[in-house]
A and B are shown apart, each in its own frame.
Chain A
Amino acid sequence: MAVTLKTLPGLLDGERGRIVRIGRTGSRSVRQRLLDMGITRGAEVQVVRRAPMGDPIEVVVKNYHLALREKEAALIEVEPVVS
């Protein structure tokens, strides 16, 4: 069955996804930063909320809270997880 991939900003508040990969379009340092912050393949992320003006996005990954802008979040491809 084909799985629909989304980017992280495509998830609604409260939705969860499993990270499939980090897009190659991002610069090396951004990709490295995301990796260092625990955005790795297979990890589960949950969107917690958006900031009052809609951006940045707060997510939970590896059991801690991370805020990132939509631009960087768009590099993260996820497979929605239905709980």
Chain B
Amino acid sequence: MGPVRRRRRGGGAWDGDPAPGGAPGREPLIALAGNPNAGKTSLFNALTGSVQQVSNYPGVTVECKEGVLRAGGRPYTVVDLPGTYSLTAYSQEEVVARDFLLNHPPGVIVNVVDATNLERNLYFTVQLLETRTPVVIALNMADLAEKRGIRVDHTALSKMLGVPVIPTVGSRGTGVEALAEACAGVIEGTHPVTPTLVRYGHVVDEEVDALAEKLAGLLPPGPHRTAPWFAVKLLERDGPVSAEVFRLAAARAAELEAAVAAAAARVERHFDDDAATIVAERRYGVAAGAARQCVHITPLSRRDTTEKIDAVVCNRVAGPVILVGVVAALFFWVFKLSDEWAWIPWAGGWASPTGVVEGCFEALSGLLDGLRPDYPMLHSLLDAALVKGVGGVLGFVPLIFFMFLFIAALEDSGYIARVAFILDRLLRAFGLQGKSIIALIVSGGLGAGGCAVPGVMATRTLREEKDRIITMLVAPFMNCGAKMPVYAVLIAAFFPDRRTPLMLLLWGLSWVVALCAAWVLRRTVLRGEQTPFVMELPPYHMPVPRGVLLHTAERTWLYIRKAGTVILAINILLWAVMYFPRPPANADGTAPSPSEAVAHSFAGRAGRALEPVTAAAGFDWRVNIALIGGFAAKEVVIGAMATVYAMEEEAPDMDASLSARLREAPGWNPLRAFAMMLFVMLYAPCVTTIAVIRRETGTWKWPLFATVYATTIAFVLAAAVFQGGRLLGFG
């Protein structure tokens, strides 16, 4: 690799973030690349076993998974690249795959090819061959192809393309050993490959050769990406590659640019179509030719299982009904399995997974009680920040786990693509697109709880950056599980007889605000043409349990790790501002009450300082403290209110008694409670969500924007409701 390119890629955090146990002389690299839905990930899992790690790329939002393969006594690093249809990158994920292949050329590329869909898959293969990087083809899903009456002659294919072709069934691990051997053979040089080069036909070939000749002297030498490759890319007017070439050949860039323009013009005149189209057609020509010669089709019934399912699932009437049913079933089971149903043996009886986690933290809290008399400060820190704070967040782990499990299974089955297909038109009206719905639902779009953290992560399936960011910015408006305790307390206190209509109202409002916000964002901050929606509808298949579990475990672990790091840190900070400075002892020598202590703390002072402003929405300093705490996690709001109202000590049934206390407290009324619920629903995403938005967008800009704009919307709406309500005489 040329030193120039290495530097340009930001040194490649990849280099600085080496393989597990990465020594300086790292293992040879095998990259898995191929079309989406070609079964790359299950093949990756079969190749590397369960020892995997997620390696993040600098500045980009998509992760590459990395694992180790041992073949012939040697370790190899295997990287699973995001699926891509072409080396002319289009989506976020594709940019990653392309940059990786071009800037970190691996020892060998394992091109995973879907045997049931050979022609389009080979189109990408042809582009890989063009780069002159050694390629081994994994002809995947051979079993499925045979079921559909498609037989691929892999020997003939290997001969035509000049690279090894190994039939595999990733989900069952068939052919994986042969694949590993072939890769080792190519890397070790015992099986050199000579990929067949594509010819683009007369006129194009001549222009490519001429351009390549001009380029040969201008470019730094490198083991891959030869002058002819650059020449084709220039002719195709590939933006990023052209820019790179013109930079590398800065001295003669103008001359080169003119030559490219002239060559492209000649091609266009000759074929009456642009050069990119001609080149793509030639590649398809090679792919189609190979497919024609190597595929033997026994005509079977055209209506396969997928078509039968889609006839119902995408039906105009049945489709939406089934969609609602699936989502409802998802939520039903997620809550059933994680919280409602006690099915884990625990303390001599049975408990739900959430119950188990909460039980652990309650036990921990009980253990800490011994500290209270002698070390009140340490006790307060450990109990409030660690046990209640982090424990509150970890209590959601079972819920998150099952949510991810079902979503991963749905993703793997191919249904999610249909959801996007069905809803695209509706969401487009608001500046979102079909795939946004998954993120919104995971964030709590059904009004039954959820979490914006997995919701924001779910935006990865979106292809376009602007669509992704808009979805991330509106997903936190959904009613996540953490907002439920706030609603529960306030509704019990002020709307005891109107629980259901109020919850429905809050649910409806969350959608109205989210869709309107998306509409506005699309026309202001993230203005721009809506990105085209061109999406494959892959065949359905049974989710592979191993893959689904690995995927789920990985995502859940990210959530847990966040709770132990960011959430913990914020909780400690929050505890400190609510604890310090301590108030002086009372005149009679007794300790001040908890309520006085809080009022005296930094948080109490801040709450008072904000009071003149927040009074517009009906919030006094006590509410302000709780809401400031809620910036960390909305779970904190109720706990903080309980503390401020000095309820924590006397009443074990905290929620109910807080409700009772609020009902009696001066200044509280249904209007104020409603304004507060509205504010809690909409204001700044919690710290975990902020951290995830930061990670997913790679910049602090969007998480900061999300905080400010959401809080502004929340405050304006809450104040409008409060003031309007008072004018109408509700206060």
Contact = CB atoms under 8 A, between A and B. Distances in A.
Q: Do A and B come from one complex?
A: yes
B280 A35 contact: yes
Nearest to A68: B534
26 contacts: A21-B273, A29-B90, A30-B532, A32-B90, A34-B534, A35-B281, A36-B85, A37-B120, A37-B534, A51-B425, A56-B434, A56-B533, A58-B310, A62-B117, A63-B117, A64-B538, A65-B537, A65-B539, A66-B534, A66-B535, A66-B536, A67-B535, A68-B533, A68-B534, A69-B428, A69-B533
Interface string A11-33: 00000000001100000111111
Interface string A62-83: 1111111101100000000000
Contacts of A51: 314, 319, 421-422, 424-425
A69 B532 CA distance: 7
A3 interface: no
Interface in B247-282: 273-274, 276-277, 280-281
A59 B59 CA distance: 36
B135 to A, nearest CB: 19
Given A33-B90, A49-B314, A58 B532 contact: no
Contacts of A48: 310
A58 B421 contact: yes
A38 B120 CA distance: 6
A35 B88 CA distance: 11
Given A32-B276, A56-B425, 14 more contacts: A32-B280, A38-B123, A40-B280, A40-B281, A40-B284, A41-B277, A52-B315, A56-B424, A58-B421, A64-B117, A65-B537, A67-B533, A67-B537, A69-B534
A2 interface: no
B125 to A, nearest CB: 13
Contacts of A21: 273
B320 interface: yes
**Which range contains the number of A residues in contact with the other chain?**
20 to 34
Contact of A68 (B86, B88, B281, B535): B535
Q: Which 9 A-B pairs have the closest CB atoms?
A: A36-B86, A53-B425, A65-B537, A35-B280, A52-B316, A68-B534, A36-B85, A55-B425, A69-B533
B544 interface: no
B424 A71 contact: no
Contacts of A56: 421, 424-425, 434, 533
Contacts of A33: 90, 532, 534
A72 B533 contact: yes
Contacts of B306: 65
A67 B319 CA distance: 15
Contacts of B533: 56, 67-69, 72
A33 B90 CA distance: 7
Given A33-B532, A33-B534, A62 B281 contact: no
A51 to B, nearest CB: 5
Contacts of A58: 310, 314, 421, 537
Given A58-B421, A66-B535, A35 B314 contact: no
A72 B421 CA distance: 15
Interface centre among B85, B237, B274, B425 (most CB of A within 10 A): B425
A36 B537 CA distance: 15
Contact of B276 (A31, A41, A66, A71): A31
B505 interface: no
Given A28-B237, A72-B532, A35 B277 contact: yes
B258 to A, nearest CB: 20
Nearest to B85: A36
B655 to A, nearest CB: 42
Contacts of A63: 117, 119
Given A32-B88, A32-B276, A35-B276, A52 B534 contact: no
B277 A65 contact: no
B614 to A, nearest CB: 42
Nearest to B285: A40
Nearest to B314: A49
Nearest to A52: B316
A68 B532 contact: yes
Contacts of B117: 62-64
A77 B666 CA distance: 71
A71 B537 contact: no
Interface string B421-450: 110111010000010000000000000000
Contacts of A62: 117, 119-120
A62 to B, nearest CB: 5
Contacts of B284: 38, 40
B717 to A, nearest CB: 30
Nearest to A39: B534
Nearest to B37: A64
Contacts of A69: 424, 428, 532-534
Nearest to A64: B117
Contacts of A38: 119-120, 123, 284
A36 B534 CA distance: 11
Contacts of A40: 280-281, 284
Contacts of A49: 310, 314
Nearest to B284: A40
B311 to A, nearest CB: 8
Given A37-B534, A66-B535, A68-B533, A22 B90 contact: no
A41 B538 CA distance: 23
B123 A53 contact: no
A39 B434 CA distance: 22
Contacts of A67: 417, 420-421, 424, 533-537
A53 to B, nearest CB: 4
Contacts of A32: 86, 88, 90, 276, 280
A22 B284 CA distance: 15
A30 B534 CA distance: 9
Interface in B301-321: 306, 310, 314-317, 319-320
Contacts of B428: 69
A37 B281 contact: no
Contacts of B280: 32, 35-36, 40
Among B420, B426, B535, residue most surrounded by chain A Cβ atoms (within 10 Å) = B535
Contacts of A53: 425-426
Contacts of B119: 38, 62-63
B276 A55 contact: no
A49 B318 CA distance: 14
B384 to A, nearest CB: 50
A72 to B, nearest CB: 5
Contacts of B535: 66-68
